[in-house]
Amino acid sequence: MSEKYFIKTFGCQMNVYDSSRIADMLKNEGYEETLKQQDADIVLFNTCHIREKAAEKLFSDLGRAHLIQLERLETGKRTIIGVVGCVVQAEDAQIIKRAPFVNFALGPLMYHKIPEMLREIKQNKKSESVVNTEFPAESKFDYLPENRAQGACSFLAIQEGCNNFCTYCVVPYTRGVEYSRPVADVLKEARRLLDTGTLEINLLGQNVNSYHGEDENGKERDLAYLLHRVAELDGIKRIRYTTSYPADMNDDLIACHKDIAVLMPYLHLPIQSGSDRILKAMNRRHTAGDYLRIVEKLKKANPNIGMSSDFIVGFPDETDEDFQKTLDVVNEVKYIQAFSFKYSRRAGTPAAVMPNQVEEKIKKERLEILQNLLFDYQTKFNLSCVGKIIPVLLEQKGRHKDQLIGRTPYMQNLHVETNSANMNKIINVKVVEATTNSLSGKEI
Ligand code: 5AD
Ligand code: SF4
């Protein structure tokens, strides 16, 4: 019987993608996946460091994993515990100090080393825990086995790292400087995903629209070029790209929203704050006005586009007037979805030591006000879909028999009664009901 692995993933879509690549790598090595941690010979935690308590959550999960490791040992079974991802990059050897039962810890750019690490641990060549947080010169992507579809919707990382250094953010420190994969590599991975059942590809990067990969002739190409190339692939039904930085939205990329039929009419474009004073302190290279002008151009390119964003409330020195400017942007753009967070002090970032840190109570109040407003717009948008016929990509089983859950072009979840053979297909659905978080409809 083959050995089993269990992976728990925290955080962003990049981590979900990384976990899927790790899973492919382990399957290639002959391991089998299990969803039960108790049955796993290898337990991996893919961690996130973007906001507070991520490290604390990890250590409590590790505590539980240690108990299971000890229980299994009583019946003669060995459990290898590994930690990968951004917390490793930030905490480094601290992880092993606090959790000495962890066998290995690798930063986000080193996970192609996992099979080698497992082999060495199993041959007892490495009895001590290993930590590796290098930023290697070679790209991890060159060392990974070919990617298989993760279902009808798959992520594909085209870019990693960030050079923007927003003053609140740990990403440039945990994921390193920007790296763009060559065009040919991206197309090869996209082809393989389409050949193994994917219909929708979401091109990923921490700063995806600053993509500048080399083409087949060694020429640097931007995201607009890459989108056209991916859109030409046989069998592709939907394309998305996440996450974009406002200052990198060039006119060619905006034009893609008019010219590429399979590019979904939805864009996640974080603004973070509506106050120019705060945006400056955040080291963002755009003002609220710049952002609104980009949204206007996008709406001109595709009048049906739906916008999404990230917001931070309670950044150091944020006043009520600054916060009101954030609400003004929300009222102007009318986001159809959004993510909002209380500012979280991250050690080592410039904002962590800025004066006038905002009290927790005020952060909480502002977050509630902002989220209520965002939910109102989201609900209004969902209600406006009632009566419309929408193509839905079915990708999950629902709770009831014959119910499937799918995704609309606008990333809404939609429940529909339909033949289960329609799983992983796109069908047309008439929307009959809507709430803040989902839609339901009838197959037509
Ligand atoms: N505190 C709160 N939110 C943060 N984000 C990044 N760093 C922080 C922080 N220190 C949010 C930003 C970013 C999203 C992925 O996480 O809004 O766009
Ligand atoms: Fe972090 Fe800013 Fe880079 Fe986004 S653009 S990953 S918020 S530094």
Q: Considering only CA atoms, which of 79, 66, 71, 89 is closest in space to residue 11?
A: 89
* Candidate from 51, 173, 206, 268 with most ligand 2 atoms within 8 A of CB, to mutate: 206
What number is the average pLDDT over the span 353-362? 97
Domain hosting 13: range is 4-132
Q: Which residues line ligand 2 (CB under 6 A)?
A: 162, 164-166, 169, 171-172, 206-207, 245
Sign of CA dihedral 170, 172, 175, 176: negative
> What mean pLDDT do residues 342-364 have?
96
156 shares its domain with 256: yes
**Residue 346 CA, closest ligand 1 atom number:** 10
**Distance from residue 270's CA to the centre of ligand 1 (Å):** 10
End of a domain among 230, 264, 298?
264
Using the atom order of ligand 1, give the atom closest to the CA of residue 344. 1
Are 109 and 69 in contact by the 8 Å Cβ rule? The answer is: no
Percent above pLDDT 70 for the chain: 99
Q: Does ligand 1 lie within 6 Å of residue 272's CB atom?
A: yes
pTM for this prediction: 0.92
Q: ∠ CA 143-169-46 to the nearest 5 degrees?
A: 40
Tell me how far the alpha carbon of residue 361 lies from the centroid of ligand 1, in angstroms. Answer: 19
Choice between 338 and 110, residue whose per-residue pLDDT is larger: 338
Determine contact, residues 41/79, Cβ cutoff 8 Å.
yes
**What confidence category does residue 125 fall into, taking pLDDT thresholds of 50, 70 and 90?**
low
In this structure, which residue's CA is closest to atom 14 in ligand 1? 310
Instruction: Using alpha carbons, select from 10, 353, 334, 429 the residue that is nearest to residue 168.
Output: 353
CATH of the domain at 80: 3.40.50.12160
Q: How far apart are CA 184 and CA 190, in angstroms?
A: 10
- The answer to whether position 367 is within a domain reads no
pLDDT digits (tens, 9 = 90+) for 405-443: 999 999 999 999 999 999 999 999 999 999 999 999 999
Among 204, 236, 264, which residue terminates a domain? 264
How many structural domains does the chain have?
3
Is residue 314 domain-resident?
A: no
| Atom 1, ligand 2: residue with shortest CA distance | 169
Ligand showing the shortest atom-to-Cα distance for residue 358: 1
Same-domain check for residues 122 and 189: no
Give a yes or no: residue 173 inside a domain: yes
290-319 pLDDT, tens per residue? 999 999 999 999 999 999 999 999 999 999
> Which string of DSSP letters, residue by residue, matches 206-235?
TTGGG---B-TTS-B--HHHHHHHHHTSTT
For the four alpha carbons of 413, 86, 243 and 260, in that order, the dihedral sign comes to: negative
85 in any annotated domain: yes
Cβ neighbourhood burial of 387 (10 Å; 0-12, 13-18, 19+): exposed
Whose C-alpha lies nearest to ligand 1, atom 12? 310
**Do residues 234 and 210 both lie within one domain?**
yes
Residues 260, 156, single domain; the answer is yes
For residue 109, tell me if it sits in a domain: yes
